[in-house]
Structure formats: structure tokens, C-alpha cells
Amino acid sequence: MTRDPRFDILFEPVKIGPVTARNRFYQVPHCNGMGRAYPSSVAQMRRIKAEGGWAVICTEEADLHPTGESSPHNEGRIWDDADIPALARLTDGVHEFGSLAGIELAYPGMAAANLYSREIPMGPSHLPVDSDTPVQARAIDKADIKQMRKWHVDAALRAQKAGFDVVYVYAGHQLSILMHFLSRQRNTRTDEYGGSLENRARLLREVLQDTREAVGDSCAVALRFAVDECNGINGIACDAEGRDLVEMLAELPDLWDVNVSDWDNDSQTSRFSEEGFQDSYTAFVKSVTTKPVVGVGRYTSPDKMVSLIKGGHLDFIGAARPSIADPFLPVKIEQGRIEDIRECIGCNICVSGDLQQVPMRCTQNPTMGEEWRRGWHPERIAPKTADESVLIIGAGPAGLEAARALGQRGYDVTLADRGGQVGGRLTRERLLPGLHAWGRVVDHRQYQISQMANVNVYLDSDMDADGVREFGADHVVIATGATWCNSGVGRSIRTSVPVAGDMPVLTPDDIMAGVQPPKGRVVIYDDDHYYMGGVMAEKLRGDGYDVTLVTPAPIVSQWTTKTLEQGRIQARMIDLGVEIVALHTLAKIDGDLTVLNCVYSGAERRVSCGSVLMVTMRRPKEALYLGLADQNMPSLTRIGDALAPGTIAAAVWSGHRYARELGETLPDPVAFKRELPALSSQF
């Protein structure tokens, strides 16, 4: 296949100061949960993106000095020359495919508590650090400023030595002291570094000039700047000081990397924003600078990308999450394979890995984070080891991915499902408020399977144990999913909730199947803490019900703090008029009452209602598996929710792992490579 000429503009080279990018695809800096702890994993992940056609590949934040370090998060580090070899491995991999390597030098200031170094954080003013750690940042004095500027120059020179082509000055996401100086709320100084915007921008200007003087002859100097803090009159706004600052420094950097602040605004989920949601904030930048501009917006459509370039909005198509979901997105556009793109679904499971200090994962791309340690490539997979057949029961996320990957390996695959369409849980969940983009998980795999002659799909096929045995496949995979329980058992309650009377006790499965609760208030008991409780509340309010959401957690959908959307979920609940009862468990259902207990005092609270909706736990559909296991069915395996209910990302990964490992001999007991600490010569 050949490239559609409409997209030729995306593959034009673009000059960035002293270097040139081979096309307009730019992987902006993004965290990954690996960083300094797993440098080989990071290097291989970035290398594969270069192979996939991204012209510029940037690191995550790289802390430049011990007085500003982001522990416990696994970000990068460039404190001294000892950090250069790990970074050089990354740049070597990126350069192997003709791409440019960029590094985001970071000094977090009051955004970090320096938990590892135990140095006192510094900021423009005396203020507590941003986390709930009982640490306060001290106001940086002029001697400190001079020293910090030198640290930044030293780090830039080390970056140059490590082989980086683009060196960032970072003033975004409220994660940089340079952004803190710009903030009127954080910067209350009365000297030449405080007060007017020109004064508050003085340090940023100085660091930019220092960096250009130090490495600008061979490295491009990029400025990452949040043009809007989405904080109204209390912060920088794109139609006020955000624009003023770009105009003030317009020609100083070699490239402008622009977005909004802070991270939960920049990386909004698809539940709350559509592709290109930042366009209205960043559109002005190109009009006030001659330097190239990169921006982000979860872009996956090449037509949209072309319109941004031709419309004079951007010079580069920036991406973090779309480059995670499909590291080969540029190559697929270049080769005319648009339909093969794994489009980002905007769920932010990738973010959750970083915030939990573990290697990043992705719902759409199960190889993300496994490139080095398991040797998984997003586009290549080992051929089959034998001429064997595989029967997969269940066409949900796990079954679909197993069938797709096994088909790619060349196995003879049959995928059977009792339903009338593929997708499993996602056939229903994609219809819930805000989750339409999640259907891309199904759509991508359904299309890929449709192109494989060796994969056959049979719907409306309710197979029992006899039918499975009669089919005679060499390998049988059970991917039958799970169902929500209505007992109330979950994370906080380990025994069933007593029920006296005939009040309906429903589950999300009931609501998604079209069951209408009786008139009256619906009490949702959410002990799951991910998205389902809030989504159910939103749907029921849309259907006209009064809703009380009860949770043992202090906030609604508590785990979504890891996906950067908890604040928006709670705000939506309040806007919709959902009554929120936090820090309470469901003790019993008595007639037309629910009896709640405070998690601390045990004090009772009673809420009248017409029905209860349990969002607590799911139980695997395992009857078919157990029946076959009892009969010693050879080569029988469970995957996805049928093995252990979890996220959609976990189900896809489970299916992919099965397909990768079938017929392969794996190391024992650890099935993947590890990066082990090196003993120091000093003791």
C-alpha cells in the first residue's frame, strides 16, 4: 500500500534550530513509570517509537539536581556523569532510525518534597510543597538562583554529551520551578523576580539564554510552556498572560511545545474531552512566533493532523498517549494503512502506571512496558511453533486479543461467543455516558481479525463442555468474562449484606441490560472505586432517578485519582445533583431503608430508597472451565476476567500474553528480564 498524497505534508522535514526532524510526528515528553529505575526498558520503548516513525522522541522529566528530585516517582535523572550511559543507550536507539532525541530537564521546586535526597525544596516563595507530605519549600535567594542556573547549564552539557539533539527548558504542568515563578499565586516576591510578568519571567528568560549559550550550537533548545492554567483569573490564561509571555519570548527558543496546565487538564480522559480539546488554547502561538510549534490533543486522525498543519496551527503533531497506544502510527499513515492504527481510547491507564511507580501499561497496546523485559514488539510476533488449532470461548477484550495475536502468529483459530456481537463487556459499557471511545478496543481487533483467513468467528454459539470436546481443538481457551455480584461483598465488606424485605438489589449488569429500577431513590453502593459507580450514577440521573452514591472511600471513584479524572467525576456528580455519602459502608437493607455505618465510628445513618445498586465486585464465569478441568481437558487455559476480573487493559494483556507464550519455552521462575541494582565500589 502507498501513502495517500493528502498526507504528504505530514512527512515533510522541519528544521528546529541546528537540527532537522525527518517528519512532523513528535513524541512529546511523557512519564512512563520506568525512568531512572528501569533505564533499559525506557530506552527500548523509545527506540521502538523511533522505528515506528516518530521524528522526535523525548524523555520524561529528567531531574537535574538532588535539590529538586521527584521521588518516589520513577522519572529520569541527570545529576552527574554517572547518569550519562543510561541516557546514551536511549539516544543511540532513537538515532538508529534517524530520529531526534529530546530530554526534558526538570527542576520541580515546590512540586516535590525531595524524599530521596532529603534536601530542602526551593521555590519562589516560602510555601508548603504541593503533595500532602509535611514539607515546606524555602524561598530561593539570589545566590541560589545563580547556582540553579549553573545546575541547569551543567545538565544541558551532560545531555549534549549523552547524545541528545533537543534540550528542553520546562515551564509547564505546575511541576517546574520556572512555572512557579510565573505564577502570581506562588510567586509573592518583591524583588526583580516578582511582581510584573516581565519580572516573574526573568528566571525563565535567563535559563533559556543560558541553555542556548551552552548547547545551542548543536542542540535545539525547546521551551515547554502551559499557555493556560485553566484557573480563571487566578492563573495564567491564553488570552492574557499566557499570550503575553509567548510574545515576550517569541524568538528565544528554537521550538515552542505548548499545552495547558496542570497534568489533569493536559491529559484529560475521553470521558470528559474529545480529540483536539486543547486547540482553542494553543491556536494563537503560531501567529506570534516564527519558530516551529508542537501541540497535543490526543490526535489519532490523519485528516485532523493535516488540517492543523495547513491551518497554521501547528508545525508538529505532538503526542504522548497516541504514541503509546500505537508506536507505529506514523509508519501506518505513511504506508497507507490508516485502518491498522490502534487509536488511543483516552482512558489514562498509562498514567496510572506512572502514578503507581510501575512500568506503564496501555489498554490498546499490551506490549507497552514489555518491549525490553519480555521482548514484545508492538507489530511483530513469533510465528507459530506447531500446526495446531485453538478454540477460544468468549469474544470480549481478552478473547479478541488472543484471537488476533494467535492469528498473527499463524495458528488456526476459532472464536466463539454466545452473544450476537463481539466485544463482551464492552458491547454494553461503550454505550454508557462518556465511554464511547472505549469501543475502539473492540473495533480495532474486530477489523484485524476480519482480515485473517485463519481466524473464524462464530456468534450466537453457546458452547457446553460436550461441544468443546467434540470440536477437537488442540488448545482451548476460556474467556467467558465475569458478572457483577449483588451480595455487597467487596473491598470493605467480606460477608453478604443482610436484606430484609423485597427491595430490588441490582447490579451494573442489570442496568446495562435495560432493567429499569422501580420509582424512587436509587442508592448506589460503590466499593469498586473505579469508573463504574460514577458512570452508573450519571446514567441513572439521566434517566430521571434521584441517586445517592455511598462509598467507604473519602471521595467518589477514588482510584481514578490514578487516571487524573477523579476531580471531574466528583464535580459531575455534584452538578447532576447526586447525593454523595462518603466514608460509609452498607450495613443492611431493611424494607425501604438502607442502613449505613460510618467507617470510623460505626454510627448509623439511614437512607430511604426504592432500590439498591451494588457496584462492589465481579465473579468469574467459570462453570465451563471447571467442568472441562474436572474432565482433564488437555491444554485448557483461562484468560481475562474469566481468570480474575480486572481492568479492560488487564484483560487485553492477558489475552496477548497467552498468544505470545503458546508453544514457547519460558525462563523459570522469572519469565522476564530484570534490571538489578549494581553494587557500588564504595562501601
Distance CA 633, CA 612 (A): 41
249 and 277 belong to one structural domain: yes
531 and 544 belong to one structural domain: yes
570 and 633 belong to one structural domain: no
Per-residue model confidence (pLDDT) at position 431: 98
Distance CA 551, CA 152 (A): 46
Element (H, E) at 100: strand 100-106
Q: Nine-digit cell at 484?
A: 457483577
Say which CATH number the domain at 511 has: 3.50.50.60
206 and 257 belong to one structural domain: yes
**CA nearest to 292, candidates 267, 275, 279, 309:** 309
Structurally, how many domains does the chain consist of? 3
Distance CA 648, CA 426 (A): 9
pLDDT per residue as tens digits for the range 569-590: 999 999 999 999 999 999 999 9
Give a yes or no: residue 492 inside a domain: yes
Element (H, E) at 94: helix 84-95
Give a yes or no: residue 106 inside a domain: yes
395 and 341 belong to one structural domain: no
Which of the residues are catalytic?
31, 170, 173, 266
Per-residue model confidence (pLDDT) at position 681: 78
Distance CA 512, CA 525 (A): 17
Give a yes or no: residue 399 inside a domain: yes
Say which CATH number the domain at 477 has: 3.40.50.720
Which residues lie below 8 Å from residue 159, measured CB to CB, with a gap of 6+?
A: 62, 78, 87, 103, 105, 167, 215, 219
pLDDT per residue as tens digits for the range 136-179: 999 999 999 999 999 999 999 999 999 999 999 999 988 999 99
Per-residue model confidence (pLDDT) at position 633: 83
Q: How far is CA 555 from the centre of its chain?
A: 21
Distance CA 304, CA 456 (A): 35
275 and 416 belong to one structural domain: no
pLDDT per residue as tens digits for the range 368-403: 999 999 999 999 999 999 999 999 999 999 999 999
Distance CA 362, CA 531 (A): 17
187 and 249 belong to one structural domain: yes
**pLDDT mean values, one per 10 residues, the chain (683 residues):** 93 98 98 96 98 98 97 96 97 98 97 96 96 94 98 98 98 93 95 97 98 98 96 85 97 98 94 95 97 97 97 98 98 98 98 95 98 98 97 98 98 97 98 98 98 98 94 97 97 95 96 96 98 98 98 98 98 98 97 97 97 98 94 91 98 98 93 89 75
Identify the domain boundary among 306, 339, 355.
Answer: 355
Identify the domain boundary among 355, 377, 410.
Answer: 355
**CA nearest to 303, candidates 275, 327, 325, 281:** 275
Give a yes or no: residue 489 inside a domain: yes
Cβ distance 6 to 19 under 8 Å? Answer: no
Q: How far is CA 372 from the centre of its chain?
A: 19
Q: How far is CA 350 from the centre of its chain?
A: 3
Give a yes or no: residue 298 inside a domain: yes
100 and 138 belong to one structural domain: yes
Say which CATH number the domain at 329 has: 3.20.20.70
472 and 530 belong to one structural domain: no
Identify the domain boundary among 564, 583, 617.
Answer: 617
Give a yes or no: residue 373 inside a domain: no
Per-residue model confidence (pLDDT) at position 232: 76
Give a yes or no: residue 666 inside a domain: no
Range of the domain at 394: 389-481+621-661
28 and 172 belong to one structural domain: yes
477 and 488 belong to one structural domain: no
Per-residue model confidence (pLDDT) at position 501: 92
Give a yes or no: residue 157 inside a domain: yes
**Please, what is the end-to-end C-alpha distance for the chain in angstroms?**
60
Cβ distance 54 to 41 under 8 Å? Answer: no
Task: Give the residues across from 166 on adjacent strands.
Answer: 102, 220
Q: Nine-digit cell at 71?
A: 521521588
Cβ distance 10 to 24 under 8 Å? Answer: yes
13 and 155 belong to one structural domain: yes
Distance CA 73, CA 317 (A): 27
Cβ distance 178 to 170 under 8 Å? Answer: yes
Q: How far is CA 667 from the centre of its chain?
A: 30
